[in-house]
């Protein structure tokens, strides 16, 4: 078996994690090059994976000048860069793994899809990072629904609740993650793979969406300082205190190190005075062409990170929690739930990440292999999630049919 040489584009938390996964799978893998606009990230990644400075690039276009030095690229950069980088790699004939969301907007996603379509004749592999499809919990959930455990599927209720750390670090103190223009919308960035899960379970194109959302709690407060470290009177009891989340301070090594996406000058920002313009609550309703309806909501005020779902059918309902690792089937003709808990798993994203990497390496090794996630799945998630953001902005129902025809070029 030939060694697979990977280039990592984006050497942050996710990029380094994926690279580490790759070199520890059953396939022979070499990290052949690193790309990041931050020299510090390149040097750190170079030290971690033994990559010399001659194979570290601050501009991905420089890497594209050396196509014979690597076999594929993993794109784990900020989402506002995805369209340009993905299209350039695809047009250069280089296989890619593209992290979710594939882009910020439907138009950007359509550009990536068209680049993939144009390359179909040469069979360039492209895989999208919807890791939940590979998590044992969600694969088990899909298997139950597909096997008819609920009868005919009628509706899906889905809720994502973020932990204090996920909200404060990811969407307040992170620099680009905290801005609508950079991510395309909080629900789109954070929950595009939740939307993909609903699409997957529904088994039909989404026809129309509506949404409501606002930022009404995490508003600027004049009674609080800009930073937890400025003697904030509420800091001792605040769920989001930088001292609670990062007791060692702004360190870059050790078990309590800051995530790469939080700059040193933002680690202690007040979650109310951080300058974020993302929604702090949002709900959406979706209707599918096969008649299935879905309701999705996301909010940042939980004591742990959890997804809860209720899937309703003509014979039974399924209730689940990924935090608890529980799935219960409740037949309509019985008060006793059937325990259908999924297998336990280790690894990031509920055990999904190792399987995601296995699938990508398999795809690179076998041109006839079909991964569970395709560029079409990425585009369909983008159509629904992007349509939800449009519906929220317009306060109206958004029909996805016209957007789908434009995106697919039909």
Work out the average pLDDT over 28-39: 97
pLDDT at position 347 over 80: no
Work out the average pLDDT over 24-48: 95
**Range 139-144, long-range pairs (CB < 8 A, 24+ positions):** 139/342, 140/327, 140/340, 140/342, 140/343, 141/201, 141/309, 141/311, 141/318, 141/320, 141/327, 141/342, 142/200, 142/201, 144/318, 144/327, 144/329, 144/340
**Among 28-32, 371-375, 387-391, the least confident range:** 371-375
DSSP, collapsed to helix, strand or coil, labels residue 60 as: helix
Distance CA 385, CA 196 (A): 9
Cα pseudo-dihedral 179, 184, 185, 187, rounded to 10: -130
pLDDT, position 1: 65
**Among 209-223, 331-345, 353-367, 372-386, the least confident range:** 331-345
pLDDT, position 99: 95
> What is the fold of 133-219+277-347+379-408?
Dihydrodipicolinate Reductase; domain 2 (3.30.360)
Q: What tokens appear for 98 in the block?
A: 């593209």
pLDDT at position 349 over 80: no
pLDDT at position 177 over 70: yes
Q: What tokens appear for 377 in the block?
A: 């799945």
Q: What is the mean pLDDT of the chain?
A: 94
CATH match for 4-130+353-373 among 3.40.50.720, 3.10.129.10, 1.20.1250.20, 3.40.1260.10: 3.40.50.720
- What phi and psi values does residue 164 have, to the nearest 5 degrees? -55, -40
255 pLDDT band (50/70/90 cuts)? confident
Q: Express as a percent the part of the chain with pLDDT over 70.
A: 100
Query: How many other CB atoms are there within 10 angstroms of residue 157's CB atom?
Result: 17
Q: What is the pLDDT of residues 42-96, one digit of tens each?
A: 999 999 999 999 999 999 999 999 999 999 999 999 999 999 999 999 999 999 9
Instruction: Please report, for the chain, the start and end positions of each structural domain, with discontinuous segments joined by +.
Output: 4-130+353-373, 133-219+277-347+379-408
Q: CA angle, 276 as apex, 105 and 306 as ends, to 5°? A: 75
Which DSSP letter does residue 269 get? B
Distance CA 228, CA 225 (A): 7
pLDDT, position 343: 83
């Amino acid at each position: 078996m030939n060694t697979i040489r990977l280039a990592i584009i984006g050497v942050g938390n996710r990029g380094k994690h994926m690279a580490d996964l790759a070199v520890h799978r059953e396939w022979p893998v070499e990290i052949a090059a690193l790309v990041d606009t931050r020299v510090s990230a390149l040097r750190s990644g170079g030290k971690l994976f033994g990559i010399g400075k001659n194979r570290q690039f601050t501009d991905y276009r420089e890497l594209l000048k050396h196509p014979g030095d690597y076999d594929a690229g993993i794109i784990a950069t900020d989402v506002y860069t995805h369209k340009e980088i993905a299209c350039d790699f695809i047009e250069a004939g280089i296989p890619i793994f593209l992290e979710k969301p594939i882009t910020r907007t439907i138009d950007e996603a359509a550009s990536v899809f068209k680049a993939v379509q144009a390359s179909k004749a040469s069979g360039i592999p492209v895989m999208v990072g919807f890791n939940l499809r590979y998590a044992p919990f969600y694969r088990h959930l899909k298997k139950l629904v597909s096997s008819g455990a609920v009868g005919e599927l009628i509706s899906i209720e889905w809720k994502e609740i973020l932990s204090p750390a996920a909200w404060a670090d990811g969407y307040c103190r992170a620099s680009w993650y905290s801005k609508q223009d950079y991510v395309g919308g909080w629900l789109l960035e954070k929950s595009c793979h939740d939307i993909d899960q609903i699409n997957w379970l529904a088994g039909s194109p989404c026809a129309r969406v509506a949404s409501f959302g606002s930022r009404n709690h995490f508003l600027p407060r004049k009674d609080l300082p800009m930073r937890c470290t400025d003697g904030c009177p509420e800091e001792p009891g605040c769920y989001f205190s930088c001292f609670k989340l990062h007791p060692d301070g702004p360190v870059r090594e050790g078990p309590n190190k800051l995530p790469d996406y939080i700059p040193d000058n933002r680690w202690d920002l007040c979650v109310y005075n951080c300058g974020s313009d993302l929604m702090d609550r949002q709900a959406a309703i979706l209707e599918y062409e096969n008649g299935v309806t879905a309701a999705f909501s996301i909010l940042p005020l939980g004591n742990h990170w959890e997804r809860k779902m209720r899937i309703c059918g003509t014979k039974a309902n399924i209730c689940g929690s990924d935090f608890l690792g529980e799935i219960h089937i409740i037949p309509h003709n019985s008060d006793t739930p059937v325990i259908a808990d999924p297998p336990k798993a280790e690894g990031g994203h509920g055990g999904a990440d190792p399987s995601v990497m296995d699938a990508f390496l398999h795809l690179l090794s076998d041109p006839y292999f079909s991964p569970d996630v395709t560029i079409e799945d990425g585009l369909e998630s983008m159509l629904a999630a992007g349509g939800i953001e449009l519906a929220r902005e317009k306060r109206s129902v958004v029909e996805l049919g016209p957007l789908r025809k434009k995106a697919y070029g039909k």
